[in-house]
Amino acid sequence: MILAVSIMAFALTLATIFTYFAIKSKDLVKAAIFSAGQSAAFALTFFLLMAPDIVLAYVAVAVGIYTVLLLYVISKTERYEEGER
Amino acid sequence: MKIKDTAVGVMIALLLLTVVAVILLGGTAHTPSTGIRPLAEFYLKHCINVYNTTWWTSSPAAVTSMLWDYRGLDTYYETSVFFLAIISGAALFRIAEVKLKAEEGRGREELGLSIIVKTSTRIIFPLILAVSVSVALHGHLNPGGGFQAGSILAVGPLLLIASFSRRYLEDRLRLSRAKCVALFTVGLVLIVLVAALPLAMGGALMQNQPKYWSPKSPWGSLTKIGPLELSGTIFFLDIAELFAVGFGFTLLFLLLSMPEKEFRRLLGL
């Protein structure tokens, strides 16, 4: 129980860090990859919360399909975000 | 810039602290609960209870039995909505296959990513297919099921499109858009047939195992064929859902990966 909770805490902290970098990154491709990392951390948490059904759908959709769709959308526009200097 | 960042950091930390404090002080009632709720207990007790079959579904996977038995119609409507969404998306892209092929003159070999990516995709692709089929076939016994298997299956063609090209999928593997629509429709027709068969044979619509108020289902006796556990209709519905979801997504990816320039010219934009 303690081990599961501490791994969950680690995964969710990792997800927060990934989210922060996904928001801050000016390179949109990198942001999409960070978002996939956040999804992987969430998948680990779902597994520890004993929801394997969710994990199977979530990994495929959030890490695979969602990321590639984002990359496809980025390929239609510019890769680098212009920020204020 | 520095001060702003620090302020944002402090605010996020304060927000996290507040949320933790609220949860610790019991502001969200019973989450996370340590025990099993009465509703979950009911489903866990009854879904594979061979001694008292008034409520059972003959499937040990509680989530799958809820999806395809207790709440079968919900999943049925979900699949219909998915079907309508994909079909209306495909209707936007209606142009002749031949015309598009004539427009694309480039060779197949020069397309795609580097050889490292291509080789690793070649290794991973059969593994993805195997995992997705096994998730679908064991959906009524293990965690998993039709939708999960379908979305895993859709990752395979997506990888191929990204690392090779769309034409590799359409020409070499012969998975054209028309074939995708056909396989997708086969999945949905199978679901409709399995849902309607009990109705034709004196049961209720979408019935798997008979509950105490309903007439006897023809699938009630079909929990096993030899050593194979079938769980009534759930086994067939999982396979049909694999086809519907997997090839629905694949069709969507094939449409999305069409070269925009040629597509625009064909539509006269």
Per-residue pLDDT tens for A19-57? 999 999 889 999 999 999 999 999 999 988 888 899 999
CB contact (8 A) between residue A65 and residue B155: yes
Domain spans in chain B, listed from the N-terminal domain onward: 61-267
Report the C-alpha gap between B254 and B167 in whole angstroms: 9
Question: What pairing do the DSSP bridges indicate for beta strands B228-229 and B224-225?
Answer: antiparallel
In this structure, the number of other CB atoms found within 10 A of the CB of residue B137 comes to 16
Local confidence band at B1 (pLDDT 50, 70, 90 cut-offs): low
Write the ipTM: 0.84
Q: Residue by residue, what is the 3-state secondary structure of B57-121? A: CCCCCHHHHHHHHHCHHHHHHHHHHHHHHHHHHHHHCCCCHHHHHHHCCCCCCCCCCCHHHHHHH
Domain spans in chain A, listed from the N-terminal domain onward: 2-76
Question: B249 at the A interface (CB within 8 A)?
Answer: yes
Mean per-residue pLDDT over chain A, rounded: 88
Q: Residue B188: pLDDT above 60?
A: yes
B235-249: burial string, b at 16+ Cβ within 10 Å, e else:
bbbbbbbbbbbbbbb
Give the pLDDT score at B109: 55
Task: List the structure tokens of B77.
Answer: 């409507």
Distance from CA of A75 to the nearest CA of B (A): 11
Q: What length is written for chain B? A: 269
Nearest Cβ partner of B151 from A52, A57, A69? A57
Return the closest-CA partner of residue A69 out of B156, B256, B121, B251: B256
Average pLDDT over residues B199-219: 79
Task: Show residues of chain A in contact with B60, CB under 8 Å.
Answer: none
A3-to-A6, A54, A69, B13 alpha-carbon distances in Å: 5, 21, 35, 24
Q: What length is written for chain A? A: 85
Give the pLDDT score at B142: 87
Task: Show residues of chain A in contact with B256, CB under 8 Å.
Answer: 69, 72
**Searching chain A, which residue's CA lies closest to the CA of residue B253?**
A69
Nearest Cβ partner of A64 from B63, B143, B158? B158
H helices present in B93-233, as ranges: 97-103, 115-137, 146-163, 166-167, 177-200
Radius of gyration, CA atoms only, chain A = 15
| Contact yes or no for B64/B234 (Cβ under 8 A) | yes
Distance from CA of B263 to the nearest CA of A (A): 14
Question: B206 at the A interface (CB within 8 A)?
Answer: no
CB contact (8 A) between residue A56 and residue B135: yes
Place of tokens 């890490």: A63
Give the pLDDT score at B246: 93
Distance from CA of B63 to the nearest CA of A (A): 8
What residues 33-52 of chain A have any CB closer than 8 A to a CB of chain B? 52
B interface mutation test: which of A68, A73, A85 has the most B CBs within 10 A? A68
Question: A65 at the B interface (CB within 8 A)?
Answer: yes
Give the pLDDT score at B95: 64
Question: B82 at the A interface (CB within 8 A)?
Answer: no
Residue B250: Cβ-neighbour burial (10 angstroms; 0-12, 13-18, 19+): buried
Task: Show residues of chain A in contact with B135, CB under 8 Å.
Answer: 56
Choice among A35-44, B15-24, B37-46, B135-144 with the minimum mean pLDDT: B15-24
Most confident range (mean pLDDT) of A9-18, B89-98, B163-172 is: A9-18
A interface mutation test: which of B152, B251, B256, B260 has the most A CBs within 10 A? B152
Question: B257 at the A interface (CB within 8 A)?
Answer: yes
